[in-house]
Amino acid sequence: MAGHSKWKNIQKRKNAQDAKRGKIFMKLAKEIYVAAKQGGADPEANSALRLVIEKAKGANMPNENIDRALKKAAGSQDDSSYEEITYEGYGPSGVAVMVECLTDNKNRTATNVRTAFNKNGGSLGESGCVAFLFERKGYIAIDRTERQIEEDELMLDVIEAGGEELRTEDEYFEVLSAPEHFEKVKAALEADYPVDSAEVTMIPKTYADADDEAVEKLEKLIDSLEDDDDVQAVYTNYQ
């Protein structure tokens, strides 16, 4: 029975992981569809679409899923209209939270986001209440564990490529750039360094602390928001 029980537990975890992966792919397909509808289905001529496709490939989204979303956008005659909405609020201990959504039903999305905040020790705020605590940046993480990298040399390469800042963490070098320079910086660094991840994202200007109880509630809030089909990304300034 022990072996059978172990197999069931493994299968349960695998099913949960598959479901999470499927939800991620669905959200990425929506992003691809919207980017292609707004700027055309040619990634070479549509930088927003090009970035989303790179993001999808980084998440190991199958090429057939990407192609399906592009074909749907190119040939779609339906009236589907997605709107980009950002909600702002506070999590436990006053941690700033930003929620980026793509939705075809604002009332549904607003209700779901508000409910997630209320059930997990947070509160939804007015537009602009925490946005000033973040800035949109190109973010590139370079793996320090894969090989020896000279920080001074990397700094020079970052500056030459057009990057703005280099941060040193235990396992990664983190490179920040202006969003409009992200692709150029990424291409330059990928040629010589082991880039682990790269995206245009929201970076906190300042960070907030929270005790263990608040962190547990914050994680539940983030999980609840990310589980919503309309939510594309959740950002916090929790340190």
SS3 track for the chain: CHHHHHHHHHHHHHHHHHHHHHHHHHHHHHHHHHHHHHHCCCCCCCHHHHHHHHHHHHCCCCHHHHHHHHHHHHHCCCCCCCEEEEEEEECHHHCEEEEEEEECCHHHHHHHHHHHHHHCCCEECCCCCCHHHEEEEEEEEEECCCCCCCHHHHHHHHHHHCCCEEEECCCEEEEEECHHHHHHHHHHHHCCCCEEEEEEEEEECCCECCCHHHHHHHHHHHHHHHCCCCEEEEEECEC
The answer, yes or no, to whether residue 171 has pLDDT greater than 90, is: yes
Q: Are 133 and 226 in contact (CB under 8 A)?
A: no
Asked if 87 contacts 98 with a C-beta cutoff of 8 angstroms, the reply is yes
Kindly tell me if the per-residue pLDDT of 3 is higher than 60.
no
**Residue recorded with tokens 């925490």:** 130
Mean pLDDT of the region 154-182 = 96
**Stronger pLDDT, 10 or 16, i.e. the higher one:** 16
What's the pLDDT at 6?
Answer: 44
Q: Which of 8-22, 187-201, 205-219 has the lowest mean pLDDT?
A: 8-22
Question: Which pLDDT band, with edges at 50, 70 and 90, does 10 fall under?
Answer: very low
Q: Which domains does the chain have, with CATH numbers?
A: 2-75 (1.10.10.200), 83-130+207-236 (3.30.70.980), 133-204 (3.30.70.980)
Decide the pairing of beta strands 96-103 and 165-168. unpaired
Residue 213, C-beta contacts closer than 8 angstroms, at least 6 positions apart: 92
User: Per-residue pLDDT tens for 17-47?
Assistant: 656 788 899 999 999 999 998 888 899 999 9
